[in-house]
Amino acid sequence: MKLFAVLLVLIIGIIFFFNNCSAFGKNPSGEHLKKISESNRFDKERKEFVNRDPNVLDEMQKKAGFWKPMKEFFFGGSKYSKPKEKLPELKPDLEYFTKKSESIKFIWFGHSTFLLNLNGKILFFDPVFSESAAPFSFMIKRFQDAVIKLEELPEIDYILISHDHYDHLDENTIKFFKNKKVKFITPLGVSSHLKYWGIEEDRLIELDYWQSFISDELEIFLTPSQHFSGRGLSQNKTLWGSYSITSGKKKIYYSGDSGYDVHFKEIGEKFNGFDLSFIENGQYSEHWKAVHVMPEETAQAYFDLKSKALVPVHWGMFDLSLHSWYEPAERIEQESIKRNINLLTPKFGQVVDLQEPNAYERWWKKLISSFK
């Protein structure tokens, strides 16, 4: 993915000089940069954040080369990369969803955007409601509008951002919450973008790996991932991560974006398993598997994390890779059958209550034949 981003950001960079593009955000500087550079994940020689293996991105680029992935990305890929008609969705019953209960409830909106109700606290993960996952609306358009409008959302306690890529950190969506009470939790450095967009500093909570934020019974940990960051020509000036959330005996995991590495097992052992895991399962390729898990690795991560249920995310709303829109779902379903994984595949907008019977249709199967 980083390989493709090189040419893309160069084009964006040229456009930037002719447009006042606030979508690029603003990287950390001054005292903020000085503070976050004390992190063990910040390489002071490189002047950037690095993965557990600092050379993993360089090795990925060296192995994949440049022109072959670039050619495939722009001129190849699947002819079924986008659906030809609207994917099924449900209008969520937000009154039922927000009601406090002993259960875990969530709503997936496509890609990596989802709401979580945990003991009455409402958490919103990587919210992207704009029409595209790019700094300009004509690029990387979503397959269809979100099932509800931002104005229809319930009151939210915390917004959690995994990293600063456009398909996870959306300027317009963040600005919608500028005058709300919601607080934002981010990896180190990411708050710099939010401050640039007008979010007050006292509503921003930055975490390094294994640090946590506590509110009542809720504890939110930033945990490792293997990825990269950047919204413009410079990269890796902010940290990326996953989240592990505990509330009483309930435990939830969200992977953010990540290649497969030892951190999944380390997290699973530290928290002794999770009731529910939202794990990336889409926008992958052999060219950039160092930073995005393949479906078979998603399945292995589920076991490494000692999870009781898996929700595959990072698919179904944007075309950011070479595979068909439905391939991620097909491949993870095959793994779930083979390896006895408790796979949850809700429709966009479906309210899922883990204590209630849920109808998890393999809804994409009914659509594949009509799209071919």
Domain containing residue 302: CATH number: 3.60.15.10
What is the predicted pLDDT for the residue at 2?
42
Task: Please report where in the chains the tokens 């946590």 appear, as a residue.
Answer: 212
The answer as to whether 72 is a domain residue is yes
The answer as to whether 33 is a domain residue is no
What is the predicted pLDDT for the residue at 3?
45
Task: Please report where in the chains the tokens 């709401």 appear, as a residue.
Answer: 115
Cα–Cα dist 219/244, whole Å:
8
The answer as to whether 167 is a domain residue is yes
The answer as to whether 26 is a domain residue is no
The answer as to whether 337 is a domain residue is yes
Classify 171 as helix, strand or coil: helix
**DSSP H or E stretch at residue 108:** strand 104-108
Q: What is the pLDDT of residues 16-62, one digit of tens each?
A: 444 457 889 999 999 999 999 999 999 999 999 999 999 999 999 88
Domain that holds residue 252: 2-19+53-371
Which parts of the chain sit beneath pLDDT 50?
1-3, 6, 16-19
3-state DSSP helix/strand/coil % of the chain, to nearest 5: 30, 20, 50
Cα–Cα dist 301/260, whole Å:
8
Cα–Cα dist 39/167, whole Å:
25
Amino acid at 86: K
For residue 96, the number of C-alpha atoms closer than 13 Å in the C-beta half-sphere is: 12
Instruction: Please list, residue by residue across 297-319, b when 16 or more beta carbons sit within 10 angstroms of its beta carbon and e when fewer do.
Output: bbbbbbebbbbebbbbbbbbbbb
What is the predicted pLDDT for the residue at 136?
77
Amino acid at 159: I
The answer as to whether 331 is a domain residue is yes
What is the predicted pLDDT for the residue at 349?
98
CA 90 vs CA 87, 129, 242, 310: distances in Å = 10, 16, 28, 20
Longest dimension (CA), the chain: 56
Cα–Cα dist 191/204, whole Å:
6
Instruction: Please list, residue by residue across 168-186, b when 16 or more beta carbons sit within 10 angstroms of its beta carbon and e when fewer do.
Output: bbbbebbebbeeeebbbbb
Cα–Cα dist 327/131, whole Å:
23
The answer as to whether 39 is a domain residue is no
**DSSP H or E stretch at residue 215:** strand 212-215
What is the predicted pLDDT for the residue at 370?
63
Task: Tell me if 259 sits within 8 A of 227, measured CB to CB.
Answer: yes
The answer as to whether 82 is a domain residue is yes
Domain count, the chain: 1
